[in-house]
Amino acid sequence: MAAASLSGFASQTPEPRLTDSLGRVIHDLRVSITDRCNYKCVYCRTGEMGAQYPELGIDEYLRLIKLFVGLGITKVRLTGGEPLLRRGLVELVSELAGLRTLGGEPLDLALTTNGHLLDGLAGPLKAAGLHRVTVSMDAVDAAIFERITRIPGSFATVLRGVRTARTAGLMPLKINCVLLRGFNDDQIEDFARFAREECVVVRFIEFMPLEEGRLWSPEIVVTLKEIVERIGRVLPLVELPARDASETARRYTFEDGIGEIGIIAPVSQAFCGACSRVRLTSDGKIRTCLFSQVEHDLYGRLRAGACDQELREYILRTVEGKEARHHIGEPGFLKPSRSMVHIGG
C-alpha cells in the first residue's frame, strides 16, 4: 500500500521548468536558423553579405528545440539573419508543429522575416503548421524603404508577401518598424494609416545599440511617448489592456476600434522585469539576454557527445543565470560582441 502511494507520488513529480534566479519563468524561445540576410538595412548592417557564424543542420536545431520544449517552452519564434533563406525551413516548421508543450498543447509557432521571399513561401509555411509571421518594414514609402534596405524593388516585393501571408491565414500579421530620427520618423503617421488599410498590427520598436556599425545615440531613438503623441494628433489613440505580464508591446487602437498599433520600448521603458525570453543563435549558443556579454555553447556540448539529460541540465543552469536587465544608456554600457542580425532579432 505504502509502496503504491509512493510510486503514485513519484509519477506526479513536476518536470523541471526554465526559471531564472529572479523567479522569471522562461517560456519563449527565439531561434536563429541562419545569420545570412538578403537585405542590408542601413541601421543594421555595414553592407557586407554572407554568414559570419556557422549554421547547424535542421535536425540539430530540432533536437535542441525539443530539449527546450521539454523544459517548459511554449512559444518558438524562428528568426535570423533572414530565416526564409534557409533550406529546410518548411520541413523544420512541419516537425515543430508536431511537438507538444508540457501541458499537451501545440507550440505557438511564429517567424520573423523581412518578407522578401514571403510571396512564394507563405502558403507552404502555413500548410506546414506555422501560425503567424512578423514582417519587418521600416517605411511605407517605396523610395525610403528601398533606401533603407539597399535593395531595388524591395517595397513592392515585401508588400506582395504581406498580402499573400494575410490571404494564407498567417494572422494576426504584425509589421515591425524600427524608427530612427532623421531616417524614417516621417513615416509614423502613414504607418498608422497602413495598419488600418492593410488589416495588420504595426509595431514600432525603439532602436537599440545592436547595429554592426556605430550609429546609436540616445538622440536617434524615437521614444514611445513621442510616437503616441504624433499619431494621436492625427488619429486619436485608445490604449488596449495588456494580455499578459510578459507582453513587450504597449497596444493601442483608434477611436473607431479599427486597426491596432503597438510600441515596443526597450530603451525608454525597459521591460526586463517581465522578460520570458531566451535565444539560440544560428551556431547553437544560448543567449539569455540580447545584451549578454557571454554566450553558452550548447551545440559544442551536443557535438562533444552530451546526452539529452546532460544538455537539459546545462540549459536549466544557464537560464538560471539570466541577466537581471540591460544597461542601455548607462555609463559603462558595453555593446555585445554580436549585432542583431547575428544574434537573431
Q: Which is it for strands 237-239 and 249-254: parallel, antiparallel or unpaired?
A: antiparallel
Looking at beta carbons, which residue is closest to ligand SAM? Answer: 345
CA distance 223 to 204: 9
CA distance 258 to 198: 11
CA distance 97 to 132: 12
**Binding-site size, ligand SAM (CB under 6 A):** 19
CA distance 183 to 258: 28
Closest CA to 285 of 276, 298, 266: 298
Q: Which window, 122-130, 152-160, 185-193, 208-216, contacts ligand SAM (CB under 6 A)?
A: 208-216
CA distance 219 to 226: 12
Which CB, 80 or 262, lies closer to ligand SAM?
A: 80
Tell whether residue 79 is a contact of ligand SAM (CB under 6 A): yes
Which CB, 145 or 207, lies closer to ligand SAM?
A: 207
Tell me the Ramachandran region of residue 274: left when phi exceeds 0, alpha when psi lies from -120 to 50, beta otherwise. Answer: alpha
SS3 27: coil
CA distance 263 to 327: 20
Interface pick for ligand SAM out of 139, 165, 168, 178 (rule CB under 6 A):
178
Q: How far is the CB of 82 from ligand SAM (least distance, A)?
A: 4
Closest CA to 326 of 270, 252, 245, 283: 270
Tell whether residue 82 is a contact of ligand SAM (CB under 6 A): yes
Residues 44-63 that bind ligand SAM (CB under 6 A): 44
Q: How far is the CB of 62 from ligand SAM (least distance, A)?
A: 20
Which CB, 18 or 210, lies closer to ligand SAM?
A: 210
Q: What is the DSSP letter of 53?
A: S
Which CB, 175 or 302, lies closer to ligand SAM?
A: 175
CA distance 88 to 121: 12
Q: How far is the CB of 290 from ligand SAM (least distance, A)?
A: 9
Residues 100-129 that bind ligand SAM (CB under 6 A): 112-114
Phi and psi at residue 256, in whole multiples of 5°? -90, 5
Closest CA to 234 of 269, 285, 193: 193
CA distance 169 to 164: 9
Tell whether residue 207 is a contact of ligand SAM (CB under 6 A): yes
Which CB, 82 or 323, lies closer to ligand SAM?
A: 82
Which CB, 71 or 84, lies closer to ligand SAM?
A: 84
Q: Which window, 48-56, 59-67, 76-84, 246-254, contacts ligand SAM (CB under 6 A)?
A: 76-84
Q: How far is the CB of 211 from ligand SAM (least distance, A)?
A: 5
Q: How far is the CB of 95 from ligand SAM (least distance, A)?
A: 21
The residues of the shown chain that bind ligand SAM, judged by CB under 6 A, are 37, 44, 79-80, 82, 112-114, 136, 176, 178, 205, 207-208, 210-211, 340-341, 345
